[in-house]
Structure 1
Amino acid sequence: MREHHAPALENLFLHGHRRLFEDFQSYSCPSNISRNDTEDILCMEREEFLKNFKNPCWFKVINTTMGLKRVLRCFPFFHIFGVCKSGTTDLFFRLTQHPQILNNTGILNKETQFWSWKRFGQDSLGHRKLTLEEFSSFFRASEIGKTKIDLQGRMHYSDLITGHADPMDFWDHNHWREIPQNDPNSSEPKFLTPHFVRHVQPNIKLILLLREPAERLYSHYLHGYYGHTPEDFHSSVLKGIELFNTCLTNCSLKTCLYKSDLSKDMKLPLSASLYYIHLLEWLDVFPREQFLVLRTEDYHKDMKYSLFRLFSFLGVGDVYSDVMERTIKLPHKYVTKIKLEQGPMLIETWNILTEFFKEPNRKLAAILNDERYLWKDATFKFRAKQLPKTKQKRHQHLQH
């Protein structure tokens, strides 16, 4: 017996019935793709999803040595699209403890890295550009395809869903000049990741996990090996803010965010913590009701409540209390070890960053109509450095 209460069958049959936003930018097909070989997704026909599957799936007809064959393919039902170093790995891991929610075959069973990186050849084997067809292969179609029969015995259906957590998709648009519909000589892009996601899946559920921006930036900095110590971070912050402010004296905010040479010179993922400007890009394309936005701090403070909110948002059944208790007691899925070893950022850096992010946070709170996103409850947290385990053993041996 599965440990969940199945949702009503009518909740499964939503594909194709939602109001779609009108295109905000005009473009023609076929586009001018001769300048690069990036797949022209905006000019591809949208798949028609099966009405008796909760997850967006379809049958693709392929040629085999035995003749034509129908193969089930699936896209994700939901996308945790941000933000890096905010707890997305842990959140995805706990969500997939629900018996209706499947993980995928990507990195850590959650990341496909398709939309921001691998379709442009970044971080893919041999720098080969992945296709949308290959993106669909990450999702467990064979498992989703194991249908059930409703109580009246009239219909086969599947109530399983899958998703992915690619937190770079929220903010990393470094390859925007390779998009066929963008002018590579322009200072700003017209089309970004949300346009392509919506073209493929207009009804996808979008989950955004936001952490206090200074702490998030510090974790991202160490995790990405931009530098190695709190002192490195302090120097990078001073230089990064100076470069960013200098850019703003001559260019628009959007131009500065998408200038590849600026991000290389900065050596600091500062723009990833400017949440409001990236969220506006996504809200220009998707309606607000398709988003669920959470603070990392609230997720950790009351994990049970957060998960129940997410299960409701995804339209999956409730889980029994013992399943929920097991889920929230699981160990944290991913920890930035170098941050534990180096300890917190310098108090001087904290003061500079909290002042720098004050206005961006105010704009974010206004967009979300929620003052929690001012992070007034965030304070500098002193934590003693932790020696790596090998050094701990040597230190203990020297003491004896």
Structure 2
Amino acid sequence: MKSEYNLNKRIDFIGIGVQKAGTTALYYYLNKHPDILMSKYKELHYFSNLNIDFEEESRINYSNYHQNFDWTTPGIRGEITPRYCYLERCIPLIHQYNPAIKIIMILRNPVERAYSHWNMRLHNTEMGNRTFANYLKAEILRMNFENKFNQMPEDDYIRRGFYSKQIRHIFDYFPSQQVLILKYEDFRDNQYQHLLRIFDFLGLNGDNYKFEEKKVHHIDYKEEIDGFSLNLLNDIYKEEIEKVEKLLNWNCTDWKNVKI
């Protein structure tokens, strides 16, 4: 017979992105904390899975989801799937699953994020002869001419960088005290201090955490970004970056007129 604890179990936090903003490193570091039990592997894609019947999942108490976690060891549980912040359906489903869950989000310069995204795709899939600039042009056409804006996560290089809409969507469902948003560049340059900040957010002590800096999932660029794409992205994101600055009270001067 299942205990009351098992019947009411829920994971405690979730990392929702953004893609190409250090989430693999974050998973690695969090997994080393003695009081954190991360999912068996990164990127479960549970709440972004279009084939899942969430009414049925709720009825069976999310048992399919929970099998990805250790429930026999004391600690807090979490997972990281960068797609959750981008696909609009995910945030309401996460709230339905656990309204008290804590959300961690890392934002990266959207120009650099887009080009890093492209390079990851270039390494992992057969992209043919189409260039980064051609993919950007194709996405702009979709943005301009689709009656209903369909999200295509694999090839949405530009749209994934419109962070302000994603942030507002999160705050529509979760109070600010349950949400921690970090700047990738700060996390990259001072990982230990930002890990301590994350541990504090999660209600954990990080004083005895054995930190050892490690580069995770680094992919060298095959070529530099072309001038057309760089200028296009800098122009596209100019107003968006200002929106993020106002929303989060950040200084994002380093995101403006970037050179890669």
TM-score > 0.5, shorter chain as reference:
yes
Q: 1:119 to 1:141 in 2, by over 3 A?
A: farther
Where do 4+ consecutive residues of structure 1 move more than 4 Å?
Answer: 225-231
Instruction: Measure the CA separation in 1 of the matches of 2:38 and 2:70.
Output: 8
Instruction: Map 1:139-218 onto structure 2 (within 5 A).
Output: 139-144=69-74, 160-173=75-88, 192-218=89-115
Maintained 8 Å contact 1:195/1:285: yes
Summarize the alignment of residues 1-400 of structure 1 with structure 2, pairs less than 5 Å apart: 58-60=5-7, 74-105=9-40, 109-117=41-49, 119-120=51-52, 132-144=62-74, 160-173=75-88, 192-225=89-122, 228=127, 232-247=131-146, 255-256=148-149, 259=150, 263=152, 267-320=155-208, 323-324=209-210, 327-329=211-213, 331-336=214-219, 340-372=220-252, 375-376=254-255, 379-381=258-260
d(CA) in 2 for partners of 1:350, 1:343: 13
CA offsets 1:20-68 (integer angstroms, 9 cap, x no match): xxxxxxxxxxxxxxxxxxxxxxxxxxxxx97xxxxxxx223xxxxxxxx
Kindly indicate whether the alpha-carbon contact (under 8 Å) linking 1:79 and 1:164 is maintained by their aligned counterparts in 2.
Answer: yes
- How far apart, in 1, do the equivalents of 2:206 and 2:178 lie? 20
Percent identity for Structure 1 against Structure 2? 23
Contact 1:229 1:342 in 2 (8 A): no
Q: What is the TM-score normalised by the length of structure 1?
A: 0.57
Q: Which residue does 1:66 correspond to in 2?
A: none
Confirm or deny: 8 A CA contact 1:171 1:272 kept in the other structure.
Answer: yes
Could you say if the C-alpha distance between residues 371 and 195 of structure 1 is closer, same or farther in structure 2, counting changes exceeding 3 Å? same
Tell me which amino acid in the other structure corresponds to 1:332. Answer: K
- What is the alpha-carbon distance in structure 2 between the residues aligned to residue 119 and residue 98 of structure 1? 33
Q: Spell out, residue by residue over 1:63-121, the C-alpha distance to the aligned partner (whole angstroms, 9 max, x if none).
A: xxxxxxxxxx743211011111111011121122111112221xxx2221100026539
Matched AA of 1:82: G
| 1:318 positional shift | 2.6
AA partner of residue 178 (structure 2): Q
**The residue matched to 2:16 in structure 1 has which SS?**
strand
Residues 342 and 231 of structure 1, relative CA distance in 2, 3 Å threshold: farther
- Encode CA deviations 1:298-354: one digit per residue, 9 max, x unaligned: 10111121111111101101323xx44xx242x212123xxx251331133111101
The farther-off stretch of 213-222 and 203-212 is 213-222
| Cα distance in 1 for residues equivalent to 2:11 and 2:48 | 16
Aligned partner letter, 2:131: D
Distance between the aligned counterparts of 2:128 and 2:259, measured in 1? 17
What SS class does the counterpart of residue 244 from structure 2 fall into?
A: helix
**Native 8 Å contact 2:13 2:101 kept in 1:** yes
Count the aligned residue pairs.
251
Return the offset for 1:198.
1.3
Unaligned runs of 5+ in 2: none
Q: Is the 8 A contact 2:245 2:251 kept in 1?
A: yes
Contact 2:121 2:127 (C-alpha < 8 Å) held by counterparts: no
Q: Which has the larger radius of gyration?
A: 1
Gapped regions of structure 1 (runs ≥ 5): 1-48, 51-57, 61-72, 122-128, 145-159, 174-191, 382-400
Q: CA deviation at 1:293?
A: 0.5
CA distance in 2, matches of 1:351, 1:239: 17
Q: Report the AA paired with residue 157 of structure 2.
A: P
Distance 1:90 1:310 in 2: 13
How much is the aligned-residue C-alpha RMSD, in angstroms? 2.9
| Residues 74 and 139 in structure 1, CA contact (< 8 A), matched pair in contact too | no
TM-score (ref. length: structure 2) = 0.85
